[in-house]
Amino acid sequence: MSADGTGRSDLDDESRSALQGFGPLIPPLSESMRPLRQQVFDRVRATGLVPRVQVAKDLGVSPATVTTITSELIEAGLIEEVAAPRDSDSGRGRPAVALGVRRGAHLVAGMKMSDREQSAVIVDFAGNLVANEVVPRRPGALSSQDMLDAIEMLLTRVCIKAGVQRAALSGVGIGLPGFIDNAEGVVLWSSTLSERGVALVNMAQDRLHLPVFIDNDANLVAMAELWFGAGRSLADFAVVTFEHGVGMGFVMNHKLYRGARRLGMELGHTKVQLDGALCRCGQRGCLEAYVADYALAREATTALNWGDREGQPISVLLESLYEQAKSGDVTARSIFRRAGRYLAVGLANVVNLFDPSLIILSGERLKFDYLYAAETLAEMDHLAINTGRPRPPIEIHAWGDLLWAHGAAALALSSVTERILSASRDIAAQ
C-alpha cells in the first residue's frame, strides 16, 4: 500500500513506461473454472494498468463483484490503485483510476545453473528487473554440495547488487538442464550434477531458508517467452533451445506442458540415428549428439585434425569453426550443414507432432546462423507432412543466459502468487 494507507499511488513517467503488464495474456472467459480471485489478479497483472470496469467486462462478471475482489487484493497488498494518464489531459475533474500490481509486494530470484555459466536475476512483483549477475565456471559435473555452494554464492552476489537481504525474497526459481521433476523437486539426471536422484528443492530450502522451485531449463525459456516475450498472447507455441545441449519447452492452452510424469518434451533425446553418435545422457543417436555445441566441437576436432587443440574451451573451438566456415572452408561448412540437416529432422518432428502456432529457436548458439540457414528450413518443410497449408512461423531469439534466469523468476512468481492467492481464498472461506 501507499504511505498514506489508501492503496493508491501516483504514476510517474518512468513507471508509466514500465507498467505494460506481464504474464500470459489469456483470453477472457477461456478459464472460467479457475477461482475468480485468480482470474481478476491475472487480468490486472497481464494488462499492466486496467480500470475495474474493464476487468468486469473482460471476465463477464458484475462490477460489484470485481470491486469486492479487488478491495480484498488491495487489502492484501497485492495490487494498488494508480492515477492513470488520460488520453487528453484537460486538467479537470478527478484523475482516472486504474489497477496495477504493487511492485514492492514481493521480490523473487531466478537462477540458471548451467554447465559453463551461471546467471541470476531478481525481479519485483510486477516483473521488473531489479538486478542481475552472471558468473562463469569451469565445465564439469558438480556434487550436490558443490551445487548448493554455487547456488548460495550466486544468490548472495545478486542480492548484494539488488541491495536487499536474502530474507526479503519470497522465493527462488532454479533452472537446470536434464530430467527434472518440478513437482517433487528432484533432479533425476543433469549434466551439471555428478549424482542422480538429487532432492535439490529440499536441500536448497534447508540451505537458503527460502521457498525454492526447480524446473528443466528449456521449460523455463518457454516460460520466459510466455510471461515476458513473444508467447504472451499465444495459446500454444514451442521453444527449441540450443546451448550446451538441445532442449524444448511447449506451451499448451497458455500453460507449460510437462507430460504425465513431468519429464516430457525432451526433443534433444529423441533418436535420429540408430546406434549413432554418443550423447552425454549415455545413449546413442540422440538429436543432441549431432546438434549441440559439444557435438559440433567433437566433429570439428576429428574432421579438421584439431588434436593439438584438446583442452581448449568448447566456446573457443566453436568460434574457430564458425570463422573457418564463414571464410569458405568446405569441411567447416559441411559440419554445420550436417548439424542443420539433423536439426531439420527434429523441427519437422515438432511440426508433425504438435502443429504449434509458432516455433522459437532460442539460445546464444544461434549466432551460428548455419544451423538455421535457408536450406535447413527448406529441408524441414520437405520433411514435415504436406497438408497444403504453410508451416508454423519460426523466430530466432539468440539471447543470452539472462533469458533463462528470467524464466526461473517467472516460475518463482507463478508459484508464489498461487500460494498467496490460495491462502487468501482459504481464509476467506473460513
What is the separation of C-alpha 148 from the centre of its chain, rounded to a whole number of angstroms? 22
Where does residue 305 rank: exposed (0-12), middle (13-18), buried (19+ CB within 10 A)?
exposed
Concatenated DSSP letters for 170-192? EEEEEEESSEEETTTTEEEE-TT
Question: What secondary structure letter does DSSP report for 114?
Answer: -
d(CA 26, CA 46) in angstroms, rounded, equals: 8
Helix (H) or strand (E) holding 122: strand 117-124
Helix (H) or strand (E) holding 239: strand 237-242
Q: Are strands 79-83 and 8-10 parallel, antiparallel or unpaired?
A: parallel
Q: Which residue has the cell 543432441?
A: 288
Please report, in angstroms and rounded to a whole number, the separation of the first and last CA atoms in the chain.
Answer: 25
What is the separation of C-alpha 86 from the centre of its chain, rounded to a whole number of angstroms? 34
**Helix 63-75 to helix 36-47 angle, to the nearest 10 degrees?**
80
CA dihedral 318, 321, 326, 328 (to 10 degrees): -170
Marked catalytic residue, from 217, 236, 293, 401: 217
Q: Which residue has the cell 514492492?
A: 104
- The grid cell for 315 is 566456446
d(CA 395, CA 366) in angstroms, rounded, equals: 11
Is 381 an active-site residue? no
**Helix 200-208 to helix 144-162 angle, to the nearest 10 degrees?**
50
d(CA 396, CA 362) in angstroms, rounded, equals: 6
Coil, helix or strand for 292?
A: coil
Evaluate whether 300 touches 338 at the Cβ level (below 8 Å): no
Q: CA of 216: how far to CAs of 112, 171, 209, 430, in Å?
A: 10, 17, 22, 37
Evaluate whether 90 touches 101 at the Cβ level (below 8 Å): no
User: Which residues does the annotation mark as catalytic?
Assistant: 217
